[in-house]
Amino acid sequence: MQWLKNRKESPFSGEVECELDTIGKDSWVNHGYCASPLTIPRAVSTVYNPQTIYPPGSFDHMCKPAPLNPYPAEVKPPDTSTKKKRGGCCSFFKGLWSTTMTKNTADNRELFIKTTLRELLVYMVFLVDLCLLTYGMTSSNAYYYTTAMTDLFVNTPSPSGVQFQSIGCMDDFWTFAQGPLLDGLYWSKWYNNQSLNNGDQSFIYYENLLLGVPRIRQVKVLNNSCTVAKDFRNEISGCYDVYYDKKEDDSNFGLVNGTAWQYHTDKEMNGSSYWGLLATYNGGGYYQDLSKSKDQSTAALNELMNNLWLDRGTRAVFIDFSTYNANINLFCVITLLVEFPATGGAIPSYQIRTVKLIRYISTWDYFIMGCESVFCLFVLYYIVEESLELRIHGFSYFSSIWNTLDVVVILLALIAIIFNVFRTIKVDKLLEKLLEQPDIYADFGFLAFWQTQYNNMNAVNLFFAWIKIFKYISFNKTMTQLSSTLARCAKDIMGFAVMFFIVFFAYAQLGYLLFGTQVQSFSTFVKCIFTQFRIILGDFNFDAIDQANRILGPIYFVTYVFFVFFVLLNMFLAIINDTYSEVKKELSSQKDDLQITDIIKKSYVNTFLKLKLKKEKISDVQKALESGSKELEFKDFRNTLKELGHDDHEITKGFSKFDQDGNHILDQEEQEIMRKELEKKRDDLSAEMNHLGNNIGNGMDEKSAVTLDEPEKPSFTLVEQADFQRLVRKVLQLENTVAAIITKIDTVMKNLMLQKSDMPNTEAMGNNETPVEENVLVHLERETKAKIAPWKSSPTPGTGWPIPNRHM
């Protein structure tokens, strides 16, 4: 016995010690095993390490006892006392933040599915809360509000037919400003010319309050900011370049005695830059605030026009104002921009932002505030979860695209929370200042811009949140087809993309150089790129290309459609299609792993068995009642149930429930109450078992539809009684023959072992000599084959039993 060599008696206590105790204090000894350490093979897994040795920092490493240590003696045993102290904390963390990355689920498919389903359930609650927040900040009324303001200030023409979108020069701008703009800003009468009686306030469309006063601002460039060719210097005295920050004019001009003629920086105006069609303009410039009345505003505009406020150096004019609709609690911040390029003429554009800046007014708003609180708790929850996963897996955590997506969602959520607080504080201060000074310009442009970006960020975050669902449904083969296809063909697509974009950008350069001066969709290189994507989708204007260049235009179009649409695009689709076919074929040939339906079926079966056990316990109690007399003592009741396998706690608890007087005796009335309640519980359990059994029977296939009380048995086809008896006799004869052969083999092997000790070594024998053992074994093999040969046959169809070749 080898294990006896590894044990010795302690000279002090007489206890058995392990041999490794004498090695040193730094050695690790498993006191439950005293033989030589076993070699544990490492299994290779592409997801997690399937061994029971967990990475440092994981929950299992902190909270579970250490397994058998197959490593050198430097690894010390864990401190069980420390684990015991923090076991409650670890259990709490494990239950609250247990994920597939914090638990070792590589070798336990059922645990993996259950953990994933738990993650999915928690995440679905988070996703519903995020949807409520996102849609709670928007309103369908915002579209109609924007449409109303657009029709009034953009599409309404002047008596001469000039509307904002048709502005083509400075004269058209003044016509619009003195006509449709002032008419739209100041509403003082009803449609029957009766006064609105709103004092100095203006209610646009009778419902929308004009906040503060409108502002008109312009930016200019310096004279001689560009270089005139030598041949034209005598004829051209001034040169005004396109707009750049460094070429902006900041000198006073004109009347010099007002804000319209004096330059103000963006800091002085609390302004911000604006991205126009031609350039990005600074937040400073020359501005004129209009008044609360239409007459004063008309006089201010006439003064600007008469004193040539707009000149050759003007590059952009902004008209900014804000309105508020209390009916729907929405702000509308409007910016009308007219750009005057260096080529002459005018290019109008506008931006209308309808936003909700005052958040909490109605009951729905306060419900959204509660959802925001829940959202903050979820963000905190996921921060802790991702921190734990990052602590366990280190930088390998970022090797998964889903983990990176988790970090992106959390970061966007944190930015949303911070901006939400900032926006609320900023709006309160701005409204407070506006109420104190109603005649000033209400600058809601900054808040409207960032509120729009905030809404855009929430939209992107919600998109990523929906995409993240694929992370939790990837345990199903069907759900992994998309990700598997894209992952497998990624290299092919990357190689194809290089070839595709070489051809694509070559055609984009060609189109820009051929048609850029005449066709708007080819006027810039960026527009050329989007135009070519539109051609792929069938949206193009061939007539414009043909008119721009009657020879190269058709050649460009035909060759582009042939090479890009017919050749390259179909190659791209072929790569994806072939890869998808391969992935689908492999998935169909793979063995089905444990699925959600299997987990549900198993839970049904477990529930059914528990209900059956409860029913059996009720039957035992009924037997105990029947065995008693008119008065049933606790001792008899206890003895009867103890014989049926019940413990004292259950017996005492059940008896005391019906022993109303506490005398440890059940009289007839108390026994009758117990019988009625037991019958009621028994009927309820029977009904529930029948309902659950029907569900199990409907959900299981033929293979899994077996009796719950007995294990699954193979099916056999019935045979004739005479054939069965004959086959039984043959089987018994075969067993006797095999037993006799085995006895002979044992006898021969014992003799060989005795003779071998007296014989010389077989290695010293000649090459032509055959060992005795080999001759004997060959003889036994031939004898065995001869006796078993009659039994070699094919199974009888439908029975699974063999038919002998001959009768014995």
- Helices then strands, counting H and E runs in the chain, come out as 26, 12
Contact 293, 275 (CB under 8 A): no
659 annotated as belonging to a binding site for a ligand: yes
Q: Two tokens at 149?
A: 């303001």
Residue 114 phi, psi (nearest 5): -65, -40
350, β-bridge pairs: 336
What's the CA gap between 660 and 321, in Å, rounded?
A: 81
725/329: higher pLDDT: 329
Closest CA to 263 of 298, 217, 296: 217
**380-389, 444-453, 467-476, 685-694: segment of lowest average pLDDT:** 685-694
What letter represents residue 292's amino acid? Answer: K
Positive/negative CA dihedral, 632, 635, 639, 642: positive
What's the CA gap between 149 and 689, in Å, rounded?
A: 66
Mean pLDDT to the nearest integer, 706-729: 52
pLDDT at position 346 is 95
Q: Is residue 446 domain-shared with residue 499, that is, in the same domain?
A: no
pLDDT, tens digit (0-9, with 9 covering 90-100), for 250-260: 999 988 888 99
Last residue of a domain, one of 589, 617, 637: 589
In a domain, 48, yes or no: no
Q: Is residue 549 domain-shared with residue 567, that is, in the same domain?
A: yes
747/248: higher pLDDT: 248
Q: Is residue 307 domain-shared with residue 381, that is, in the same domain?
A: no
Q: How far apart, in Å, do the first and last CA atoms of the chain sit?
A: 48
What's the CA gap between 612 and 620, in Å, rounded?
A: 12
352/608: higher pLDDT: 352
Res. 600: pLDDT tops 70: no
Mean pLDDT to the nearest integer, 502-519: 93
Last residue of a domain, one of 554, 569, 589: 589
Q: Write down the pTM of the prediction.
A: 0.61
Q: Two tokens at 357?
A: 């800046």
Res. 120: pLDDT tops 70: yes
Res. 398: pLDDT tops 80: yes
In a domain, 798, yes or no: yes
Closest CA to 621 of 673, 686, 684: 673
Task: 599-604: list long-range contacts, CB under 8 Å, 24+ apart.
Answer: 599/110, 599/113, 599/114, 599/117, 600/699, 601/696, 601/699, 601/700, 601/704, 602/110, 604/692, 604/695, 604/696, 604/699
Contact 428, 200 (CB under 8 A): no
Q: Is residue 347 domain-shared with residue 365, that is, in the same domain?
A: no
What's the CA gap between 549 and 547, in Å, rounded?
A: 6
pLDDT at position 316 is 96
Res. 57: pLDDT tops 60: no
Q: How many domains does the chain have?
A: 5
> What angle do the packed helices 401-436 and 445-467 form, to 10 degrees?
160
Closest CA to 355 of 330, 334, 325: 330
- Residue position matching structure tokens 């070559």: 506
What's the CA gap between 305 and 294, in Å, rounded?
A: 17
556/395: higher pLDDT: 556
Q: Is residue 365 domain-shared with residue 457, that is, in the same domain?
A: yes
Res. 803: pLDDT tops 80: no
Q: Is residue 345 domain-shared with residue 213, that is, in the same domain?
A: yes
Closest CA to 405 of 466, 457, 450: 466
SS3 114: helix
Closest CA to 640 of 659, 656, 619: 619
Last residue of a domain, one of 471, 496, 529: 471
Contact 704, 601 (CB under 8 A): yes
Work out the pLDDT band at 291, boundaries 50, 70, 90. very high
Work out the pLDDT band at 40, boundaries 50, 70, 90. very low
413: number of Cβ within 10 Å: 23
| Cα 412–chain centre separation | 14
Work out the pLDDT band at 691, boundaries 50, 70, 90. low
Ramachandran area for residue 308 (φ above 0: left; ψ -120 to 50: alpha; else beta): left
What's the CA gap between 590 and 583, in Å, rounded?
A: 11
In a domain, 709, yes or no: no
pLDDT at position 325 is 94
Q: Two tokens at 456?
A: 């855009």
Q: Two tokens at 541?
A: 């204007």
Q: Is residue 574 domain-shared with residue 537, that is, in the same domain?
A: yes
Q: Two tokens at 323?
A: 């309105």
Rounded to 10 degrees, what is the CA torsion of 389, 94, 57, 406?
Answer: 10
pLDDT, tens digit (0-9, with 9 covering 90-100), for 558-572: 999 999 989 999 999
595/551: higher pLDDT: 551
SS3 per residue for 411-466: HHHHHHHHHHHHHHHHHHHHHHHHHHCCCCECCCHHHHHHHHHHHHHHHHHHHHHH
Domain of 292 in residue numbering reads as: 141-355
The contacts of residue 264 (CB under 8 Å, 6+ apart) are 284, 285, 286, 287
pLDDT at position 709 is 42
Percentage above 70 pLDDT, the chain: 63
* DSSP label of 178: I
pLDDT at position 334 is 95
Report, in this order, helix, strand and coil percent for the chain, each rounded to 5: 55, 10, 35
213, β-bridge pairs: none
Mean pLDDT to the nearest integer, 43-55: 37
Closest CA to 130 of 412, 364, 329: 412
> What angle do the packed helices 363-393 and 401-436 form, to 10 degrees?
140
In a domain, 17, yes or no: no
Q: Which of 320-329, 389-398, 635-644 has the highest mean pLDDT?
A: 320-329
Closest CA to 416 of 451, 383, 445: 451
CATH number, domain containing residue 514: 1.10.287
Q: Is residue 252 domain-shared with residue 368, that is, in the same domain?
A: no
Q: How many residues does the chain have?
A: 808
pLDDT at position 519 is 92
593 annotated as belonging to a binding site for a ligand: no
**30-39, 207-216, 574-583, 593-602: segment of lowest average pLDDT:** 30-39
Res. 593: pLDDT tops 70: no
Mean pLDDT to the nearest integer, 638-652: 63
Q: Is residue 193 domain-shared with residue 312, that is, in the same domain?
A: yes
In a domain, 18, yes or no: no
502/789: higher pLDDT: 502
Q: Is residue 545 domain-shared with residue 603, that is, in the same domain?
A: no
In a domain, 87, yes or no: no
Positive/negative CA dihedral, 135, 140, 143, 146: negative
What's the CA gap between 656 and 676, in Å, rounded?
A: 16
Mean pLDDT, all residues of the chain: 75
pLDDT, tens digit (0-9, with 9 covering 90-100), for 409-448: 999 899 988 888 888 888 888 888 887 888 889 888 888 8
Work out the pLDDT band at 304, boundaries 50, 70, 90. very high
Closest CA to 323 of 140, 145, 578: 145
Q: Is residue 179 domain-shared with residue 259, that is, in the same domain?
A: yes
pLDDT at position 6 is 41
pLDDT, tens digit (0-9, with 9 covering 90-100), for 79-115: 444 444 444 555 555 566 777 777 776 677 677 777 8
289 annotated as belonging to a binding site for a ligand: no
In a domain, 783, yes or no: yes
14/302: higher pLDDT: 302
In a domain, 69, yes or no: no
CATH number, domain containing residue 657: 1.10.238.10
Percentage above 90 pLDDT, the chain: 31
- Residue position matching structure tokens 């990700």: 483
What letter represents residue 171's amino acid? Answer: D
pLDDT at position 308 is 93
> Which H or E element spans position 686?
helix 668-699
Please state, in angstroms and as integers, the Cα–Cα distance from residue 113 to each residue in 108, 163, 250, 472, 701, following that order.
9, 64, 68, 9, 21
Res. 774: pLDDT tops 90: no
28/466: higher pLDDT: 466
Rounded to 10 degrees, what is the CA torsion of 112, 117, 123, 127?
Answer: 140
Work out the pLDDT band at 482, boundaries 50, 70, 90. confident
748/312: higher pLDDT: 312
Q: Is residue 418 domain-shared with residue 523, that is, in the same domain?
A: no
